Amino acid sequence: MVKIGSHVSFSGKGLLNAAEEAVTYGSSTFMIYTGAPQNTRRKPIEDQFITEGKAVMDKHGMEEIVVHAPYIINLGSYKDDTYELAVNFLQEEIRRTHYLGVKNIVLHPGAYTDKDAEYGIARIAEGLNEVLNGVKDTDVNIALETMAGKGTEIGRSFEELASIMEKVEDNRRLTVCMDTCHIHDAGYDVVHDFDGVLDQFDRVIGLDRLAVVHLNDSKNFRGAGKDRHAPVGAGLIGFDAMKYIAGHDKLRHLPLILETPWISKEKGNERPMYEAEIALLQGKAENRFGSDFLDHVERLEFFFHKQEVDRRDFVVNTWELLKNDAKAKKADGREPMERLYDMVVEARLFEDLSEEDINKRMIAWFAGKAAF
């Protein structure tokens, strides 16, 4: 079975809350931060309802989950205090991950800020050596994440990750997390030649090192280097490519994690599309939501056909407009799903449905009938 899940919250009752939230999305895996990703404040991991959470996981067949390291860790920094914080905090996060029984912690490799890429790669490798030497009593792997190339971040190519790994003494403890949005934004052709991308990864790093996949669509054109995630189908990767990736024979044994944005026209009311995205990627949407849901998607198909709206052309053209026409973006910065939602509301197509429910049906419309 393909293992697809999403990032879920570890707040409140810790692992119990995380597992119960994952169940509501129909997940078969999930990813957590063991505390807020922006700071170092942490509750004792022993108090995070681990036994209760694992009981929920066992009940719903969720065997492998993933931990993500906090964003504030930067092993590439030339500043001693920032670097030392990164080393010490990552070691603590690895110990917490080990306590949970999780085998991979995903890490953004780091940024070189005022130096250069060569310095950043060497500094990150130095930090990883120090980190791993201090946690030899654990069996947790550090999954270096592929990055989009924003700013001075390292990991924007497979070669950069390989360079880091070559400089780490115990690099058997290093794996890779491949983010589909990031590699698309970094310039890899995940839409038309994902097999070629995997072949390149295998030549440079080795597919045996691939441990986690982040399944994210992108708001950017290939090679933009910007790292902006989109709901599945509402971005420039598109549903067909995402479905191909999710079902790929070389990936289906790995945990596939959605980090797609929560959405709403009203700030503060954002909701995730995870439940619909997971069901569609697994080909289980009708089983998950019922025949009425499918009828609604067919009504959307008929409505948008009358409006001469093609799902892929509309998405691509809208992002093209927002990219190239500054005046249009300033006057009307609505993204593809916002524009489509407004059309549906104006036509009073589903007056009894909430914004969240309409958005889920539009995610299914992006997928097309072949997803059911």
CA-CA-CA-CA torsion for 343, 345, 349, 350, nearest 10 degrees?
140
Cβ atoms within 10 Å of 24's Cβ, excluding its own:
11
- Alpha-carbon distance 182 to 65, whole Å? 21
Measured in whole angstroms, the distance separating CA 312 from the mean position of its chain's CA atoms is: 22
b/e map 211-229, b = 16+ CB within 10 Å = bbbbbbbbbbebebbebbb
AA identity, residue 158? F
Give the per-residue pLDDT at 285: 92
98 is known to lie in a ligand binding site: no
68 is known to lie in a ligand binding site: yes
Q: What angle do CA 41, 42, 43 make, to 5 degrees?
A: 135
Domains and CATH numbers, the chain: 4-282 (3.20.20.150), 286-367 (no CATH)
Q: What are phi and psi of 255, to 5 degrees?
A: -70, 125
Per-residue model confidence as pLDDT tens for the chain (372 residues): 789 999 999 989 999 999 999 999 999 999 999 998 888 999 999 999 999 999 999 999 999 999 999 999 999 999 999 999 999 999 999 999 999 999 999 999 999 999 999 999 999 999 999 999 999 999 999 999 999 999 999 999 999 999 999 999 999 999 999 999 999 999 999 999 999 999 999 999 999 999 999 999 999 999 999 999 999 999 999 999 999 999 999 999 999 999 999 999 989 999 999 999 999 999 999 999 999 999 999 999 999 999 999 999 999 999 999 988 766 666 678 999 999 999 999 999 999 999 999 999 999 999 987 677
As a whole number of Å, the end-to-end CA separation of the chain is 17
- Alpha-carbon distance 178 to 184, whole Å? 11
Q: Which of 329, 148, 122, 144 is nearest to 222 (CA)?
A: 148
pTM of the model: 0.96
Q: Any idea which residue has 């920032």 for tokens?
A: 82
CB 204 within 8 A of CB 159: yes
Give the per-residue pLDDT at 169: 96
Q: What angle do CA 201, 278, 2 make, to 5 degrees?
A: 55
Q: What are phi and psi of 141, to 5 degrees?
A: -95, 150
Q: Beta 229-230 vs 217-218: how paired, if at all?
A: antiparallel
Phi-psi region of 87 (alpha: psi -120 to 50; beta: other; left: phi over 0): alpha
301 burial (CB, 10 Å; 0-12 / 13-18 / 19+) is middle
Cβ atoms within 10 Å of 45's Cβ, excluding its own:
19
AA identity, residue 134? G
Give the per-residue pLDDT at 341: 97
CA-CA-CA-CA torsion for 32, 37, 40, 45, nearest 10 degrees?
-10
Give the per-residue pLDDT at 38: 87
Name the token pair of 281.
């990627």
229 is known to lie in a ligand binding site: yes
182 is known to lie in a ligand binding site: yes
Give the per-residue pLDDT at 370: 67
Q: Beta 210-215 vs 217-218: how paired, if at all?
A: unpaired
